[in-house]
Amino acid sequence: MTAQIRKSGGTVTIHRIELPTPFPVGPVNAYLLVTDSQRVLVDCGPKWPLAQEALLNGLRQHGVTPQELTGVLLTHGHIDHVGLTSIFQTHGVPVFAHPDVNTWLEPRGPWDTYRSAFFTRLYTTMGVPEDFVSETVQTLFLLNQWNDRSVVDVELTDGMEFPLIPQFQIVEVPGHAQAAIALWDPDHRLLVCGDQVLPTISSNALIEPVLTAPSGETAARTKSLLDYRANLKRLNAFNIQTIYPGHGEPFHNASALITRRLEEQVERREAFLDLLRTEQSATAYQLAVKYFPRHRSQLSLIMSETIGYLDWLHAQGAVTVQADAQGVVTWRIVG
Ligand SMILES: [Zn+2]
């Protein structure tokens, strides 16, 4: 899909370049934004030969070589969006992203150690059996094979203009990932939003460590689903016409889809509440494997999902939470 946006300062053309990935999510989107003076790539796929070939072919079809890009913008730090960043950075193309995306661009570095310690403690306190804890944490870091080292050159945060194409404003979109930004064009009510809103699947609000602790062992965790809902409500007030998502086709009537996602979350919250009524009390792990019996192999995803809904029920006063002497947390229905 190619879209042209006419502005008093010129025209921006958005080309979608779909890239294969080796992940269950399927293909990922990169976008090439072209103006008179700029050639900006938004996201760049995992470091995987088939993705690289598709990306370079896609750029070639639009008459752009990697060296001719004037910037790479990363919507968030997940590997299916950032793995190939280094092939452009080595050509001197500046990388634009939220500052904390840096923590995703250093595979096998100190932030991996931090995350590994954090998730080991998180899963242990959420009642995951010991064998699964190490297996799940190891699986997370196997993903490093699709990543490469790079660094954010220009940090973008909420409310800034995108310096290369100032008609786009930067909007932070915490939820699916904490360090996540979208490009918002208020004149055309158009949002390039990474994985925050996807057309055919609901995005996971992934639990992450808060990055300010001295080590992963002591890092607090995010309440990602609550952040995600707050951000979806904020986006809904933008009256967005068109979304260019990180996976799947660009789509119109974005507000209707965002409203539907918010409603689906309410339904799932009620389902978790019913489950907890039956169980009376349980660890997040016990609830996760009951609610998602066929997704045990994707433990990190189902744990984020379950903890997110428990956070929500807790914020509503529907459940209490208590840790035992070992720190293992039990959630109990109120009343
Ligand atoms: Zn993602």
Structure tokens at 309: 């809904």
d(CA 281, CA 108): 38
Structure tokens at 42: 């938004």
Look at residues 54, 49, 29 and name the one whose alpha carbon lies nearest to residue 41. 29
CA of 278 relative to ligand 1 center, distance in Å: 33
Please count the helices (runs of H) and the strands (runs of E) in the chain. 9, 14
3-state secondary structure of 198: coil
Could you tell me if 137 and 217 are in contact, meaning their C-beta atoms sit under 8 angstroms apart? Answer: no
Structure tokens at 304: 């984020």
CA of 335 relative to ligand 1 center, distance in Å: 38
Q: Residue 290 has what pLDDT?
A: 96
Task: Report pLDDT digits (tens) over 113-153.
Answer: 999 999 999 999 999 999 999 999 998 888 899 999 999 99
Amino acid present at 10: G
CA of 21 relative to ligand 1 center, distance in Å: 13
CA 65 → CA 44, 46, 68, 165, distances in Å? 14, 19, 5, 19
Look at residues 203, 199, 138 and name the one whose alpha carbon lies nearest to residue 174. 203
- Which residue ranges of the chain lie beneath pLDDT 70? 1, 5-9
Could you tell me if 244 and 193 are in contact, meaning their C-beta atoms sit under 8 angstroms apart? Answer: yes
Task: Give 55's contacts (C-beta < 8 A, 6+ positions apart).
Answer: 17, 19, 30, 44, 45, 84
CA of 103 relative to ligand 1 center, distance in Å: 14
Neighbours of 280 (CB within 10 A): 9
Could you tell me if 2 and 9 are in contact, meaning their C-beta atoms sit under 8 angstroms apart? Answer: no
CA of 76 relative to ligand 1 center, distance in Å: 7
d(CA 185, CA 168): 5
Q: Residue 6 has what pLDDT?
A: 61
| All residues with CB under 5 Å from ion ligand 1 | 78, 195
What percentage of the chain exceeds 90 in pLDDT? 92
CA of 78 relative to ligand 1 center, distance in Å: 5
Q: Residue 1 has what pLDDT?
A: 59
Q: Residue 9 has what pLDDT?
A: 55
CA of 214 relative to ligand 1 center, distance in Å: 25
CA of 30 relative to ligand 1 center, distance in Å: 13
Look at residues 137, 132, 135, 121 and name the one whose alpha carbon lies nearest to residue 327. 121
Tracing tokens 């809902």 back to the chain, one arrives at 229
Q: Residue 335 has what pLDDT?
A: 77
d(CA 209, CA 103): 11
Q: What is the DSSP string of 233-255?
A: HHHHTT---EEE-SSS--BS-HH
Task: Indicate the pTM of the whole model.
Answer: 0.96
